[in-house]
Amino acid sequence: MSRFLLPRLTSLAPYEPGEQPLDRRYVKLNTNENPFPPSPKVLEALCPEAILRLNRYPDPAKRALRAALARAYGVEPENVFVGNGSDEVLGFAFMAYADEGRGVTYPAVSYGFYKVYAQLFRARANAVPLNADLTIPVGRFLRQGQMVALANPNAPTGLALPLDALEAIIRENADSVVLIDEAYIDFGGESCLPLLRRYDNLLIVRTFSKSRSLAGGRLGFALASRGIIEDLTRVCNSFHPYSVNALTLAAGVAAVEDEAYLRSCVEAVCAQREQSKRELRALGFAVTDSATNFLFAAPPRMSGEAYYRALKERGVLVRHFRSDELSAYVRITVGAPEEMRRLLQETRAILGQPQEELQTKEASS
């Protein structure tokens, strides 16, 4: 830090991205990416002609992608906002709706950026602890008189709220924006999309990073009433009107239009999730019923951190948590079948359990 930094920023704790070590090749199950590549249609969209047009600025209104998203989700383009990753969309929402006066309410255990943005944008924060069973205490999110931000399904617990609970939160905060972060909704849980017509305070945020395999493209979007989309656009155009680059916009249109590919990736990830959940439970892990593309799991007889370290030594990366309430757990991204086989094999070795015969045979053949 230099001596010039504003005092209020010296105490800010920035978001910590999952580690990306370069010392060896790891099986990377720590940042909830999709194990499958983007749709083949994305490859076609990123053609030499698209690259040759990079001398021009991208469309600041992002019209083609907003139209494609509007078609896909049955809304009008005026109900769609596009940003540089959903992190940017979340940032614009915090800038638009939370400050020292009107703060923000979010679960104490949730996506780490809510806390970071609250600090960065000087918003008074009400961080509500989870119930003992890791679910969100719905009653403590009603009548807040300030913005509410929730991830549904929640991270890192993987648990989703039923739609009637979400609707109660939206209805009982009619004079504040309720932001529902649906980063994982394609993998499970019920989307708030059907509520959009009835509630002008509902702001749904989604990402291309998980289900659409475009984490490296940096693309996110919001679905909301016209007024909210106008607010986000106002903030965006006061900060970075060309926030999404032309190649990513083209990739986004191609990805949205390939519904079949999205479905096949999501089905494969969900099937793998259920299989890995059963296998980990059989080894004595406590595993939540995740509605996402990751598993939230506590190993038997060791802390989350000890298990994380043992796995890392063996070339598998997962994410662990330092806070007391989560120290028993790790978050494991659902990877490709061979990656999950490797996770299980290393886990058996760490726990001192015999390898399954089938796998020993496979390995020796």
> What single DSSP character describes residue 129?
P
Residues whose CB is less than 8 angstroms from the CB of residue 189 and which lie 6 or more positions away in sequence, other chains included: 152, 153, 160, 161, 182, 291
- By CB under 6 A, name the one of 215, 247, 268, 351 that touches ligand PLP: 215
The reply on whether position 248 binds ligand PLP by CB under 6 A is no
Q: Which is nearer to ligand PLP, 141 or 279 (CB)?
A: 141
The reply on whether position 151 binds ligand PLP by CB under 6 A is yes
Least spacing, CB of residue 101 vs ligand PLP, in Å: 25
Number of residues that bind ligand PLP (CB under 6 A): 13
Q: Which is nearer to ligand PLP, 38 or 220 (CB)?
A: 220
Residue nearest to ligand PLP (CB): 85
Residues whose CB is less than 8 angstroms from the CB of residue 108 and which lie 6 or more positions away in sequence, other chains included: 127, 128, 129, 130
Q: Which is nearer to ligand PLP, 154 or 347 (CB)?
A: 154
Q: Report the relative pairing of strands 316-317 and 319-320 from DSSP bridges.
A: unpaired
Residue 305's alpha-carbon distances to 255, 289, 311, 318, 321, in angstroms, are 37, 21, 10, 10, 7
Least spacing, CB of residue 65 vs ligand PLP, in Å: 14
The reply on whether position 183 binds ligand PLP by CB under 6 A is yes
Residues whose CB is less than 8 angstroms from the CB of residue 97 and which lie 6 or more positions away in sequence, other chains included: 104, 147, 176, 177, 179, 231
Least spacing, CB of residue 20 vs ligand PLP, in Å: 14
- By CB under 6 A, name the one of 35, 220, 252, 304 that touches ligand PLP: 220
Residue 209 DSSP SS3 = coil
CB atoms within 10 A of CB 258: 18
Interacting residue ranges for ligand PLP, rule: CB under 6 A: 32, 85-87, 111, 151, 155, 181, 183, 207, 209, 215, 220
